[in-house]
C-alpha cells in the first residue's frame, strides 16, 4: 500500500528571532492547511529534532493544540526527518493511524556541530570535529576520480545557483568558483563555501492512507513510494568513528538506496530529480555513485557533464541543497521532501524541473545513518 | 610519578611511561570470531558483536589521506593549526585517525607516506597518541 503525502509546509531555513516552537508551528500549520485538515484530525505526530532536550516533541508540538493523540520524537542525527517519515509511513501502513503529521524543527547553534557522538578524548585531542571526516572523504574521492578542487567548487557554484532561485534558502546569491576557492579554508581541501551551515528552520509533511486521501478529496496528492533507512555496516566510515577497516568499502547510502529502489519498484533511470545530503561539496559527489546516478569513479564526470544542473538530465539539489539552504538538522530531510513535492506538483517556480514525475531525497548523518525516500506524482 | 594519559585504554600499559616523541603502540584488538580488528580495542567486536579477542598492536603505518584543522574547535586542548591523517596499518587491516606531529602542510602528505605512532605531551600536560614521520 502506498502512503499519500497530502500536504507540506516549510519555515524558511536561516537565522530568526523565534523559538523552535514558533518555527515549527509555521511549518505545521502550512502543512495542515495544504492537506485540508486540522490538528484534531491527526492520529499521530512524529517530531524530528536533534538539539532540544527531554519531552522535545511534546514541547515543539504544544502550540498546535492539546488533542490527546500520540506525539513522539525521533532522532537520528541528520537523518532524523527520514526517521520521522519511516515512523509515520509505518503507522499508516499498519492501520494504527489514518493521518500523520511529520514535523522537523531545529535551532542549531552556530559553528561546528558539537555532540556528534565523539568521545571526550577525540574532542580534546582535536580530531573530534566533523569537517575532518568530510575533508578526508573529499581527498579520497579526488584521488579515486581524478577530480580537482575546482570540481568541489563547481558543486558549490551549482547549488548556490539553484539556491538563488529559492526564496526559502538561507543564501540566495550565486557564487563564482573564485569566491568558493578563495573563501576561508576550513579543513583542506574544503573551504567555507564548500560546507553547509548548521542553522534554523522547520518543515512538515501530512501523510494519509490512500483511502483517507480519496475520502477527503486531497487536491494534489503525491505518493510516498519508498522510505529506507540504513545504519552502519563493517565497510562504512563516517562521523564519529576514529578508525575503519582498510579494505572493505560500503556505504549506508548504497544500502538504503538499494532497499528504496526495490520498495518503490523503480530504478535510478526513473528519477527526474534528486535532493541529496550535500553537507559538503564532496558528499554530493559521493552520493552520485551511492545513489546509482553514475558508476563509481564517474562522479566528477557526471558533474562536469552538466546533467545535475536544473535543465540537465538528472538535476540534483534543485532547492539549492544544504550548501545554500543551510542545515537545520531535524528539519533538513523534510525540507527535501517539501522541495520534491513542489516539483512533482509543478509549483517550483523558476527552478521547476520540466515534467517531473519521480524524485528521490537522501540524508546521511552521524552514527553512519543514511536514508532514501522516493516520491512519485500520484 | 605516573604519567596521566588522555585516554589510557588507547595505549598498552607498557607504553604509558615514556617521554614525548617516543615511539609507542596503539591498543587495537582482533576478534577471535571474525578476525577483524577494532580500534579502540573492544571487549565485544565492533563489527560482528562477538566476545573474545586478542591484542593487535599498531605501530608503523602509512598515510591514506590528510587534512588540517586551522580553527579552534569545541573542547579541544590542542593548539591550531595541525595536520590530521588517516593512517593505514596493513597487518591489522585498520585505518586510524590522528594528529600528525612535525607536519605543516596536509596537501604535501601523499598517500603512502610512512608514519609511526608516538607519544605526545598535550598543552594541558596529559599524554596522548599522535603520528610522526620515522627518523
User: What does the pLDDT read at residue B73?
Assistant: 85
Distance between CA atoms of residues B102 and A371, nearest Å:
40
Is residue A322 scored above 90 in pLDDT? yes
Check pLDDT > 80 for residue A1: no
Which range is least confidently modeled, A166-170, A361-365, B71-75?
A: B71-75
Spell out which residues of chain A touch residue B86, defining contact as CB-CB under 8 Å.
Answer: 136, 244
C-alpha cell at A151: 570540481
Mutate: best of A125, A133, A147, A192, partner B, most B CBs <10 A: A125
Q: Is B54 on the interface with A (CB under 8 A)?
A: no
CA A200 – CA A194 distance, rounded (Å) = 19
Sign of dihedral through CA atoms A219, A343, A268, A194? negative
Which of helix, strand or coil describes residue A183?
coil
Q: Which of A81, A49, A98, A99 is nearest to A340 (CA)?
A: A81
Report DSSP letters for A17-86, one per residue. SS-HHHHHHHHHHHHHHHHT--GGG-SEEEEE-SS--TTHHHHHHGGG------EEEE-BTBTHHHHHHH
A-B C-beta contacts closer than 8 Å = 117
Cβ contact B92:B28 at 8 Å: yes
> Is B73 close to A245, i.e. CB distance below 8 A?
no
Q: What percent of chain B has pLDDT over 70?
A: 99
pLDDT-wise least confident of A84-88, A353-357, B3-7, B79-83: B3-7
* Residues in CB range of B41: below 8 A, 6 or more apart: B9, B27, B28, B29, B53, B55, B56
ipTM of this model? 0.96
Q: Is residue A72 less than 8 Å (CB to CB) from chain B?
A: no
Q: B74 falls in which pLDDT band (50, 70, 90)?
A: confident
B6 vs A: CB within 8 A: yes
Q: Using pLDDT thresholds of 50, 70 and 90, give the confidence band for residue B2.
A: low
* Whether the predicted pLDDT of A301 surpasses 70: yes
Phi-psi region of A256 (alpha: psi -120 to 50; beta: other; left: phi over 0): alpha
Cell readout for A319 is 532547492
| DSSP reduced 3-state for A142 | helix
Q: Show residues of chain A in contact with B89, CB under 8 Å.
A: 246
Whether B47 contacts B99, CB under 8 Å? no
**Which A positions 222-251 lie with beta carbon below 8 A of chain B?**
234, 237, 242-247
Element housing B94 (H / E)? strand B94-101
- Which residue among B67, B73, B99 places its CB closest to the CB of A135? B67
- Indicate if the pLDDT at residue A8 is higher than 90: yes
| Residue A355 exposed, middle or buried by CB count within 10 Å (0-12, 13-18, 19+) | exposed
Beta bridge partners of A207: A5, A100
Q: Which residues of B touch A135 (CB under 8 A)?
A: 67
- Could you read off the pLDDT of A259-286 as tens digits, one per residue? 999 999 999 999 999 999 999 999 999 9
With 70 as the cut, is the pLDDT of residue B91 above it? yes
pLDDT digits (tens, 9 = 90+) for A138-159: 999 999 999 999 999 999 999 9
A142 vs B: CB within 8 A: no
- According to the model, what pLDDT value does residue B14 have? 93
- The residue behind cell 577494532 is B38
A38 touches chain B (CB under 8 A): no
Tell me which residue of A165, A136, A121, A207 sits closest to A324, measured CA to CA: A165
Query: Please, are residues A207 and A88 in contact by the beta-carbon 8 Å criterion?
Result: yes
Report yes or no: A178 and A345 within 8 Å, Cβ to Cβ. Answer: no
Q: Write the pLDDT tens digit of every residue in A334-346.
A: 999 999 999 999 9
Q: How far is B88 from chain A (nearest CA, A)?
A: 7
Is A94 touching B (CB cutoff 8 A)? no
Contact between B77 and A186 using a beta-carbon 8 Å cutoff: no
Contact A126 B78 (CB under 8 A): yes
> What pLDDT was estimated at residue A114?
66
Amino acid at each position: 500500500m502506498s502512503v499519500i503525502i497530502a500536504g507540506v509546509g516549510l519555515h524558511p531555513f536561516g537565522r530568526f528571532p523565534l523559538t523552535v516552537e514558533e518555527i515549527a508551528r509555521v511549518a505545521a500549520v502550512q502543512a495542515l492547511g495544504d492537506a485540508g485538515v486540522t490538528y484534531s484530525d491527526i492520529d499521530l505526530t512524529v517530531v524530528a529534532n536533534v538539539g532540544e532536550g527531554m519531552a522535545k516533541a511534546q514541547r515543539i508540538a504544544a502550540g498546535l493544540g492539546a488533542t490527546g493523540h500520540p506525539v513522539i520524537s525521533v532522532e537520528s542525527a541528520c537523518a532524523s526527518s527520514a526517521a520521522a517519515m519511516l515512523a509515520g509511513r509505518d503507522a499508516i501502513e499498519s492501520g494504527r493511524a489514518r493521518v500523520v503529521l511529520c514535523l522537523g524543527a531545529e535551532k542549531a547553534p552556530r559553528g561546528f556541530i558539537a555532540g556528534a557522538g565523539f568521545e571526550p578524548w577525540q574532542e580534546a585531542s582535536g580530531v573530534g570535529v566533523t569537517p575532518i571526516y568530510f575533508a578526508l572523504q573529499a581527498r579520497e574521492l579526488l584521488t579515486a576520480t581524478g577530480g580537482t578542487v575546482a570540481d568541489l567548487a563547481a558543486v558549490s557554484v551549482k547549488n548556490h545557483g539553484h539556491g538563488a532561485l529559492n526564496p526559502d534558502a538561507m543564501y540566495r546569491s550565486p557564487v563564482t568558483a573564485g569566491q568558493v576557492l578563495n573563501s576561508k579554508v576550513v579543513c583542506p581541501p574544503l573551504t567555507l563555501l564548500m560546507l553547509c551551515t548548521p542553522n534554523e528552520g522547520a518543515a512538515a509533511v501530512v501523510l494519509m492512507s490512500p483511502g483517507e486521501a480519496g475520502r477527503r478529496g486531497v487536491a494534489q496528492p503525491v505518493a510516498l513510494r519508498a522510505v529506507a533507512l540504513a545504519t552502519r555496516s563493517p565497510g562504512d566510515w563516517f562521523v564519529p568513528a576514529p578508525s575503519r577497516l582498510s579494505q572493505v568499502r560500503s556505504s549506508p547510502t548504497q544500502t538504503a538506496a538499494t532497499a528504496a529502489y526495490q520498495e518503490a519498484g523503480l530504478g535510478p533511470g526513473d528519477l527526474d530529480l534528486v535532493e541529496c545530503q550535500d553537507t559538503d561539496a564532496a558528499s554530493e559527489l559521493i552520493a552520485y555513485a551511492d545513489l546509482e546516478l553514475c558508476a563509481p569513479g564517474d562522479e566528477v564526470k557526471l558533474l562536469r557533464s552538466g546533467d545535475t544542473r536544473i535543465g540537465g538530465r538528472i538535476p540534483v539539489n534543485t532547492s539549492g541543497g544544504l550548501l545554500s539552504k543551510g542545515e537545520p538538522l531535524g528539519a533538513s530531510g523534510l525540507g527535501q521532501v517539501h522541495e520534491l513535492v513542489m516539483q512533482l506538483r509543478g509549483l517550483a517556480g523558476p527552478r521547476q524541473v520540466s515534467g517531473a514525475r519521480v524524485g528521490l531525497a537522501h540524508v546521511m548523518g552521524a552514527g553512519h545513518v543514511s536514508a532514501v525516500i522516493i516520491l512519485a506524482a500520484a | 610519578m605516573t604519567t596521566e594519559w588522555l585516554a589510557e585504554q588507547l595505549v598498552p600499559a607498557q607504553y604509558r611511561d615514556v617521554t614525548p616523541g617516543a615511539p609507542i603502540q596503539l591498543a587495537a584488538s582482533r576478534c577471535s570470531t571474525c578476525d577483524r580488528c577494532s580500534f579502540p580495542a573492544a571487549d565485544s567486536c565492533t563489527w560482528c558483536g562477538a566476545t573474545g579477542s586478542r591484542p593487535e598492536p599498531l605501530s608503523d603505518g602509512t598515510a591514506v589521506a590528510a587534512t588540517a584543522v586551522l580553527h579552534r574547535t569545541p573542547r579541544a586542548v590542542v593548539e591550531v593549526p595541525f595536520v590530521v591523517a588517516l593512517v593505514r596499518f596493513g597487518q591489522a587491516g585498520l585505518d586510524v585517525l590522528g594528529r600528525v606531529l612535525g607536519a605543516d602542510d596536509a596537501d604535501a602528505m601523499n598517500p603512502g607516506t610512512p608514519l609511526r605512532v608516538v607519544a605526545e605531551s598535550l598543552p594541558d600536560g596529559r599524554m596522548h597518541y599522535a603520528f610522526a614521520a620515522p627518523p
